[in-house]
Amino acid sequence: MRRIHAGLARCLLLGLVSLGQVQGGEEPKPLSAGEAQNLARQYFAETDAAKKQALLEKAGTTPAESADAFVRLILPAGFPPAKTGLQHGLKLDVPATVSDKPVEYSISVPGKYAPNRLWPLMFGLHGGGNNTGSGQQHITSLTGINRLDAIVVCPTSVDLGVQKYWRNPKNEEALKLLIRHLSRQFAIDPDRIYLTGYSMGGIGSYYLGARMTDVFAATAPGGGAWHGIHWPVMLNTPVYVWHGKKDMRGKNFTDFPNAENAAAILKELGYDHHFAALDCGHAPTPAGAETAMGEWLLTKKRDPYAKRIVTSSPRAKDFSGMLLPAPPDRWLAIDEIGPAKLEMEGVAQGGTPRMKHKVAMGTLDAKWSGPNQLEVAAENVKRFRVFLSPKLVNLKQPLKITVNGKVAHDGPAPTSLKFLLQYLDERRDPSMVFLGEVSVSVP
C-alpha cells in the first residue's frame, strides 16, 4: 500500500512540475544583437495589440545596452514630396476613444522647406467655444506667424460640444497623434515643437502646456485664462504670456489679471518667461504681436535630459474640477500619491485675486546631484519611477536614489530591451530615449 501511495505521490509531483512548466514556461534566454533587431522590426511593424504583446514577451530578460540601432527603426526611410504654402481641410483618422470623427487641421509649410534639415513645428489652438472656432479660422488670422521659418499647424478641437474645450484630455491625445503623423510627413525637430493659442486656445495652452511639459520646447498662452496650475512644473518649459491690457470681460474668464498673475508667479519662481502686455482689448491684437511671440518661441529648444525636474500629479485644476493624473515628464513619473491635500497656485474668476487651492496632489523635485546620484524631495507621493539613459547615468555602475534624505535605492541601474521597445513604440521620439526604469517606494 505504501508503494502505491508513494507512486501516486511521485506521479502527482511530476504532473505539477509538468503543469508549472507548461503554464509558466521558462524565461527566454537573452537575445543576440541580431535577434533583438529582428524582433524590434517585427514589433514596430505589427498593429495587432495581442501580437505586439506576444512579440514583446520574446525579449525576456534581454538588457538594452544602446538605443541607436532601435531608434533608426522608428525613423521614416524618407519623406514624401511636400506641398508648401497654406492647406486647409486635412484630416487624420484617430481612435474612437479620441474622437468619432477625424481630427481636422490646417497647415502652413514654408516655401523653402526641404527635408535635408530638421524644421520647427508650431501648434496654434483656435479660440471660440460653444461649438465655434476652427483651425482654418485661426491659421488665416496668423498672418505674421505664417511667415516664420517653421511649419505651423492649427487643428480644430475634437470636443467643441462640451465645456472643457481644449482642456479635454482627448485634445491632448489628438496633439500627440498629430505630432507622430506629421513627423512621418515632414523632417520635424523633436526638440523644437511649440504650443500657442488665443482666447479659448490660450486657455488650452495654459493647461496642455502644463500637462505636456516634456513635449513642448516652449508655450505661449494668449488672451486666455487659468484657474489652478502647479506652476513649478514649468521649470524646463519657457512660457510667453501675451494678453491685451484692456481685456476685462469678467464672466468669460479672460481678464488681463489672468496673465498678470501667471507672469508674476513665473517671475517669483525665477523661470524663463516673457510677459507681453498688449495695447488692446481681447481682440484684435496689435500688428506684429503674433510674429514677436513666434520669434521668441523659436529661440527655445527642449532639453530632453534636463538634470532637474519638478513635477506633480495632477498638475492643474480646471474651472469645473481636477484634471487627470499627470503623465511622465522626461525621466520622472509619479505612480501613486497619498491622501493628503496640498496647495496649488490659483486665481478666482477673472484672474483675481490670487489664491491657494487645496487639492489631492503629490509633488516631486528631483535633481541629479552627482555621478549616479539622484536626490528627490517628495511630498504626498507613495511611488514613482525614474527612467534611465546613458546621458544621465552610467548604466554599468550602481545607482543611488535618496528621497527626503533617506536612501530609497542603492543598487543596479537596470536596462531592458522590453522597456526600450515599449517606450520607443509609444513615444516615437528619436531625441528622448530611455533604456530602463527603477520603481521607487517613498520611505
111: CATH? 3.40.50.1820
Domain that holds residue 315: 308-441
User: pLDDT value at position 242?
Assistant: 98
User: pLDDT value at position 80?
Assistant: 93
Same domain, 209 and 138: yes
Number of domains in the chain: 2
SS (H, E, C) 362-409: EEEEEEEEECCEEEEEEECEEEEEEEECCCCCCCCCCEEEEECCEEEE
Cα atoms in the 13 Å half-sphere on the side-chain side of 255: 15
User: pLDDT value at position 164?
Assistant: 55
Percent of the chain whose pLDDT exceeds 90: 82
Would you call 211 helix, strand, or coil by DSSP? Answer: helix
Q: Is the peptide bond before 353 cis (omega within 30 degrees of 0)?
A: yes
Q: Is residue 21 very low, low, confident or very high in pLDDT (cuts 50, 70, 90)? A: very low
* pLDDT tens profile 74-121: 999 999 999 999 999 999 999 999 999 999 999 999 999 999 999 999
Contacts of 70 (CB under 8 A, 6+ apart): 37, 40, 64, 420, 421, 424
DSSP 90: E
Q: Which residue has the higher pLDDT, 142 or 222?
A: 222
Helix (H) or strand (E) holding 57: helix 49-57
Same domain, 290 and 357: no
User: pLDDT value at position 8?
Assistant: 34
Average pLDDT score over residue span 18-27:
44
Among residues 252, 275, 297, the one where a domain terminates is: 297
Same domain, 241 and 346: no
The model's pTM? 0.91
Same domain, 134 and 210: yes
Same domain, 150 and 266: yes
Same domain, 246 and 334: no
* pLDDT tens profile 311-351: 999 999 987 777 889 999 999 999 999 999 999 999 988 88
Among residues 297, 321, 341, the one where a domain terminates is: 297
